[in-house]
Structure 1
């Protein structure tokens, strides 16, 4: 019996050794790493799917978190001066509402005052465009122009356009619902943000609790710094380009400046899109020379902002390579449209910031730590 037990033990040890060698050799390690990558991808897809499926809830909450992070220094300043939390929150929200209302009023005022001028200039520009078309080497007849016009009219009066209008009305209703939810969530984030975070951290203890606190602090600092820095850069762009448009005499200079401010929150392509729009308005209303001057102003302001202002304001917050920004921007646009393009880059910055404090205040996660020369060899 002892002989059989010895043989059985040897067989078990042999099988264990074989299994160990299968998973510890080069191909086994590759298989394990592949399974880990697949698991991470599946979890990521599940998170994105859940976020998109519940976007009416998740998106307002995320935007509220971003705005709360940006407004946190103001709330902290008021609390340091012994202002009650509820009063500090009301002051911050009231300030935001006043600023947004003032901007909206200025936009409506500018459009109402310059709409007739722009319509007249657009008519003249369209006539000039028709005259220019007649000088092309290939001919475009009046019948062809009329056919295009009839096609547009038929589409506007079609059932397809009507269903699109109904979808637009539904989108407006969803937007209003999301806006109300975002304001409510923002109020509670501003008033009780630290308490809410402490409640969520109750299951964690020891090093896990310390890591979760670092992640929370880094998230708020990154989002807040990104929004404040981008807003400052956008304001400088809007003021510079707006002044240039006013000097050139382009209609709707103020609304176009607001468009510049908003599109500046989309990295890389936002400023280009705003410049194209401003140049098109100048081309229609003022002619090609004014459009060229507008392009020159946009390029000059963007160069000054990109080379001097943005590195100072955004250098510590947005520590991402241009290729990473471009990929994140593209993915965000595909998944979430314009809103996805706006929030993709700050979210990527948050992910990168978390990896940099994973093991300590200045101790990145092992796989993201810079290698020393002796470790590379």
Structure 2
């Protein structure tokens, strides 16, 4: 069987894998140089996919398509602008509050130096460097630099805004293209359908549970009398979109503020409360709602975070999972010969690929149904008459 495939393709499987890796490296290098364009456009695409079922639902209830598309666009705009505005307000409050705790920071650091001296540790040079790096003026400078990046995000929001508008109206009547793709390339149609379902589940569930965790964090910080509780709740909500390490990034600021404001026991309780909430809500409850929709194991998620943050930048930390799902859909799920890779990417103990027969059955099933990769269902195709474009080519 393998010999026949080598003869048919003209190259061995090892050669094919090497060529794919080389193409990926070149492609990633190209993406790196246009990351300021790729990141916002892909972010807009995933958000359009997420709200697309709302447009289909409104259309089925006799709402004009332009009106439903406009409402969906406003929802996306409100979410993105609200996200950036909340982050900007949190950074401003941090800049205004940190100088008030300069004396506490210095006192705590002096105590640490004294403790190290009693233990016989003489690392004065290292301590001085760390002390300078922990100076509140430097922390404020870093925060102001981050605020400048957030305020200069106008170009990013502009690209995202235009992309959302164009994508929303272009996909308002996607039925004919969906049926044509299902007939011409059933494997790709099925892969895109799986990608859309996964990324929609990822954004919706991450948003809902991120909001729940943020509310509980604010309540806990208010009970512990930690300053700027609402600000840290906003930070917790935003960092929830960063897989694996988002929890750590969200707990460090309130723990430090709790340490300088109320002492080490408050900081310890902040860490304990955040850890319990993260474990119970995001590790036990949230997976029950997402199920296997995303289908990526922890190692793959973490490596994708490191990889896409290098390629796309800061936005890549938020888009790490959607970008990985998209690449997986195009390169792995669309071709039965490469679906063995899913075995190493999937979460849980159930293999991602059972047998070749299931792949063939899935391809046959997809070929007879229109894809729903952007929220297209049976009701959406009822108003499209005539054969789909490319149907004659598919028959031939």
Corresponding position of 1:245: 221
Q: Structure 1 pair 105/318, CA: closer, same or farther in 2 (3 Å)?
A: closer
Following TM superposition, by how much is the alpha carbon of 1:181 offset from its aligned partner in structure 2, in angstroms? 1.2
- Summarize the alignment of residues 255-334 of structure 1 with structure 2, pairs less than 5 Å apart: 255-334=231-310
Q: Deviations over 1:127-162 (max 9, x none)?
A: 343245334325788xx9699759x89x99xxxx9x
Contact 1:271 1:302 in 2 (8 A): yes
Contact 1:242 1:254 in 2 (8 A): yes
**Mean Cα displacement is larger for which, 175-184 or 331-340?**
331-340
Q: Structure 1 pair 317/275, CA: closer, same or farther in 2 (3 Å)?
A: same
2-side partners of 1:283 and 1:349: how far apart? 40
TM-score by length of 1: 0.72
Contact 1:121 1:284 in 2 (8 A): yes
Stretches of structure 1 lacking an aligned partner (at least 5 in a row): 1-22, 373-377
Q: Structure 1 pair 260/106, CA: closer, same or farther in 2 (3 Å)?
A: closer
Contact 2:35 2:311 in 1 (8 A): no
* Residue aligned with 1:134, SS: helix
Q: Which has the higher Rg, Structure 1 or Structure 2? A: 1
Following TM superposition, by how much is the alpha carbon of 1:237 offset from its aligned partner in structure 2, in angstroms? 1.5
TM-score by length of 2: 0.69
Contact 1:278 1:294 in 2 (8 A): yes
Contact 1:329 1:345 in 2 (8 A): yes
- Summarize the alignment of residues 125-164 of structure 1 with structure 2, pairs less than 5 Å apart: 125-136=105-116, 137=118, 138=121
1-side partners of 2:80 and 2:15: how far apart? 49
Tell whether 2:360 aligns with 1:370: no
* Residue aligned with 2:32, SS: helix
Tell whether 2:168 aligns with 1:190: yes
2-side partners of 1:113 and 1:171: how far apart? 14
From the two aligned structures, give the one with the greater helix fraction: 1
Contact 1:118 1:251 in 2 (8 A): no
Q: Structure 1 pair 80/285, CA: closer, same or farther in 2 (3 Å)?
A: farther
1-side partners of 2:97 and 2:21: how far apart? 55
Corresponding position of 1:123: 103
1-side partners of 2:268 and 2:251: how far apart? 11
Following TM superposition, by how much is the alpha carbon of 1:240 offset from its aligned partner in structure 2, in angstroms? 1.3
- Summarize the alignment of residues 3-152 of structure 1 with structure 2, pairs less than 5 Å apart: 32-98=12-78, 119-136=99-116, 137=118, 138=121
Contact 2:48 2:164 in 1 (8 A): yes
2-side partners of 1:300 and 1:291: how far apart? 14
Q: Structure 1 pair 176/111, CA: closer, same or farther in 2 (3 Å)?
A: closer
Stretches of structure 2 lacking an aligned partner (at least 5 in a row): 343-352, 357-396
Contact 2:333 2:339 in 1 (8 A): no
Corresponding position of 1:337: 313
Contact 1:219 1:353 in 2 (8 A): yes
2-side partners of 1:351 and 1:63: how far apart? 14
Contact 1:279 1:294 in 2 (8 A): yes
Contact 1:356 1:365 in 2 (8 A): yes
1-side partners of 2:97 and 2:40: how far apart? 39
Contact 1:218 1:354 in 2 (8 A): no
Q: Structure 1 pair 298/44, CA: closer, same or farther in 2 (3 Å)?
A: same
Contact 1:230 1:314 in 2 (8 A): no
2-side partners of 1:251 and 1:106: how far apart? 17
2-side partners of 1:140 and 1:106: how far apart? 41
Q: Structure 1 pair 170/197, CA: closer, same or farther in 2 (3 Å)?
A: farther
Following TM superposition, by how much is the alpha carbon of 1:72 offset from its aligned partner in structure 2, in angstroms? 1.8
1-side partners of 2:90 and 2:323: how far apart? 35
